[in-house]
Structure 1
Amino acid sequence: MDRLDAMRLFTRIVELGSFTAAADDLNLPRATVTHTIKRLEARLGAQLLQRTTRRVRTSREGEAYYSHCVRLLADVDAVETDFLQAAEQPRGRLRVDLPTQMARLWLIPALPAFFARYPLLELDIGTGDHFVDLLREGVDCVLRVGSLPDSGLVGRRVGTLDQVTAASANYVRKHGMPRTLADLQNGHFAVNWASPTTHRTEPLEFMVGRKRREVMLPGRVTVSGVEAYRGCCEAGLGIAQFPRYRVADALNKGQLKEILPTTPPPTLPVTVLYPPHRQMPARLRVFVDWLVEVIGKQL
């Protein structure tokens, strides 16, 4: 293994906190990983990593060496990117994480055209709405819906999603159709949503003109997964709010009924997030541009 590859291996161990995880991520035998780090430490004459039973941590020398490696590898990637961009042939593998239903309905059906345009690219796709630590998990970019915490990542707005307040047809027959926000306080229930990150129960939100109104309703069930949230709503357990595209099929079939359409929930931003680069790799740049293109056609 040459010096650059050894540096890449070292940085992945630091970022993942594990020899085994780095070996799996880079598809290397564990013995090769251990041997390479021993040779690296011997060549530098310093212990770079401190091993415990649970985690691998950097020594003071290792932390300094990691910072130098990150800068050097970024420069090497930037040089290679210049040549690849000049040749207009982005290549390599990208690890991305996408919202499950958006991936299934919009993005995956468009992938054949993407691969026809960029035949030298490969994608490793994860789906979900959970928090992803891009550096620790080796993910190149994530697509997320909704407000985002300050994470130090670069964000590019893709668009906004309209939302809808809905309840099942059976719920409306049993509890009636609310006509105003005040009606919600008279015998209505919500499928309560608990944030997977903060674990706080979120209120229903409505736009009255340009003002945002929050309404907290009692609920018999609280969930933190998008499929369970929709399932509970369809089962008649309460009122819920969704991006419209997620429930368009059920609304068209009459399984769900739209509630208070004149005071809809606020729109949701759609953002692609990726680590800061001095120069974005060509493979990541064209994928982000493609996301903007595909999602823009749906909004």
Structure 2
Amino acid sequence: MDYFTAVKTFTRVVETGSFAKAADSLEVPRNMVTKLVQSLEAHLRVKLLNRTTRRVSMTNDGAAYYERMSRLMEEWLEVESDLASAQSNPRGRLRVDMGATLASFLVIPALASFHARYPDLQLDIGVSDRPVDLISDRIDCVVRAGKVTDPSLIARHIGDLPFVTCAAPGYMKGREFPEHPADLERGHTLIRYFFAGSGRQSPVVLNFGDEQATLRGRHFVSVNDTNALLAAGLAELGILHLPAFAAQSHIEAGRLVSLLDNWTAEPVPISIVYSANRHLSSRVRVFVDWMVELFKSNAYAIIR
């Protein structure tokens, strides 16, 4: 028995849900798939799959075997890919996690260029702001805002995001435009952002020369997602503070107007983070390089 091929075939049956689909994806006869899985079960002396005329499911032993062997298979294929032509033509699956704002407004709109350059890469993007465990969650890298302090992680700083303060013209109708952050305490409503999990509101600190001010004011609504923050602003619910690249198209179209232009917040650093204990695959390397290029080409990101 070709053990590697047998394990690869078994994992493909599990992932496709049938022997026929596995055979099609592997481009081999169906009876070969059946024979390889049976040989693997005989070698292990356990039943890995329950088979009926309609469906295939894993036994408890099969599920435990798949969980461990699928990881080993990925690492095996990754090593082979890296040692072959992977540097110029990486292939396989790349699992990335990033915040919703970056994904929706910056990364996904530009992904066509990444696919054109690396057509054999499959990119799985998890969109969340929650902390993730790169090892247990089987994620290759994450794109995160803020400083990274975990010594078990390697963080490559790729740029900084400036923020803008703005509001919908309908909200500003009949109201005086603020000239100083303190003006927001009088007759204005803010839309606030709070962190999921802790519920803590994100502080907004603005600077003008040597002067510093914190946006306080009352708020009608607070949200924990930048897309929802933007939607609330466009719905004329108050003044919002969000990344410039998320607001700029709306400002240019007249759906939002910028406020307090002389007052700026400290840009937020953006990093690509991966485990220090894992080999940096060519798949991660080309994605990191592409993200650096993406930030360099974006007018509303700051490269230092």
How many residues end up aligned between the 2 structures?
255
SS of alignment partner, residue 159 of structure 1: strand
Task: Compute the TM-score of the two structures, normalised by the length of structure 2.
Answer: 0.69
| Separation in structure 1 between the aligned mates of residue 228 and residue 86 of structure 2, nearest angstrom | 47
1:176-187 to 2 correspondences below 5 Å: 176-187=176-187
Q: Name the CA shift for 1:198/1:232 in 2 (closer, same or farther; >3 Å).
A: same
| Separation in structure 2 between the aligned mates of residue 134 and residue 291 of structure 1, nearest angstrom | 19
Q: Deviations over 1:8-43 (max 9, x none)?
A: xxxxxxxxxxxxxxx7799997626624758x9xxx
How far apart are 1:112 and its partner, in Å? 3.5
1:118-267 to 2 correspondences below 5 Å: 118-148=118-148, 150=150, 152-209=152-209, 212-267=212-267
Q: Name the CA shift for 1:153/1:2 in 2 (closer, same or farther; >3 Å).
A: farther
| Separation in structure 2 between the aligned mates of residue 270 and residue 180 of structure 1, nearest angstrom | 29
| Separation in structure 1 between the aligned mates of residue 107 and residue 156 of structure 2, nearest angstrom | 17
Q: Deviations over 1:37-66 (max 9, x none)?
A: 58x9xxxxxxxxxxxxxxxxxxxxxxxxx9
| Structure with the higher fraction of residues in helix conformation | 1
SS of alignment partner, residue 218 of structure 2: coil
SS of alignment partner, residue 227 of structure 1: helix
How far apart are 1:167 and its partner, in Å? 1.4
The equivalent of 1:98 in structure 2 is 98
The equivalent of 1:34 in structure 2 is 61
How far apart are 1:210 and its partner, in Å? 5.7
Q: Deviations over 1:187-226 (max 9, x none)?
A: 2221121111421122322123266532222111121122
| Separation in structure 1 between the aligned mates of residue 271 and residue 210 of structure 2, nearest angstrom | 23
- Native 8 Å contact 1:164 1:264 kept in 2: yes
The equivalent of 1:89 in structure 2 is 89
SS of alignment partner, residue 189 of structure 2: coil
Q: Name the CA shift for 1:255/1:26 in 2 (closer, same or farther; >3 Å).
A: same
Amino acid at match of 2:182: A
How far apart are 1:140 and its partner, in Å? 1.1
How far apart are 1:116 and its partner, in Å? 3.5
| Separation in structure 2 between the aligned mates of residue 114 and residue 34 of structure 1, nearest angstrom | 39
Could you say which structure has the larger radius of gyration?
2
SS of alignment partner, residue 95 of structure 1: strand
Q: Once structures 1 and 2 are overlaid, which stretch shifts more, 193-202 or 110-119?
A: 110-119
Amino acid at match of 1:241: H
- Native 8 Å contact 1:74 1:277 kept in 2: no
| Separation in structure 2 between the aligned mates of residue 185 and residue 25 of structure 1, nearest angstrom | 58
Q: Deviations over 1:149-192 (max 9, x none)?
A: 64732211111111101111122223321111221222222112
Q: Once structures 1 and 2 are overlaid, which stretch shifts more, 206-215 or 176-185?
A: 206-215
- Native 8 Å contact 2:87 2:282 kept in 1: no
SS of alignment partner, residue 142 of structure 1: strand
The equivalent of 2:44 in structure 1 is none
| Separation in structure 2 between the aligned mates of residue 245 and residue 218 of structure 1, nearest angstrom | 26
The equivalent of 1:111 in structure 2 is 111
Amino acid at match of 1:265: A
CA RMSD, Structure 1 to Structure 2 (Å):
3.7
Q: Name the CA shift for 1:239/1:105 in 2 (closer, same or farther; >3 Å).
A: closer
SS of alignment partner, residue 113 of structure 1: helix
| Separation in structure 1 between the aligned mates of residue 247 and residue 133 of structure 2, nearest angstrom | 29
| Separation in structure 2 between the aligned mates of residue 194 and residue 151 of structure 1, nearest angstrom | 27
How far apart are 1:288 and its partner, in Å? 1.0
